[in-house]
Amino acid sequence: QVQLVESGGELVQAGGSLRLSCAASGRTIGSVAMGWFRQAPGKERELVAAISWSGTSTYYAGSVKGRFTISRHNAKNTMYLQMNSLRPEDTAVYYCAARKFSAWSIYTNAYDYWGQGTQVTVSS
């Protein structure tokens, strides 16, 4: 079983930047697509960004497109989410997820592995 651990969540001021990391346990996680989800208080979990195994195909939610960048370094078994121009509405628990396919999916239930989440709080 793959274990994922998120890190990098912090309290940041609006307009600031933050970089989240997701590290997979073990030396390899195989050909898995990965994604970042977030869940704000009182709201459903939503897909923020996703990336294919190769890194050549990505997805971004409309609310973050142009501000967030997803990337991965497979040799390090690590995925990143660079978040710029943060807004208070970006405040949420951010989750790392992976699925046992090389292609990403927009569906939450398509992902097989999940991290514990990391809190991102954007103050105004």
40-77 pLDDT per residue, tens: 999 999 999 999 999 999 999 999 999 999 999 988 88
- Give the Å distances, CA to CA, from 66 to 44, 63, 69, 116: 23, 9, 8, 26
Name the percent of the chain lying above pLDDT 90.
Answer: 89
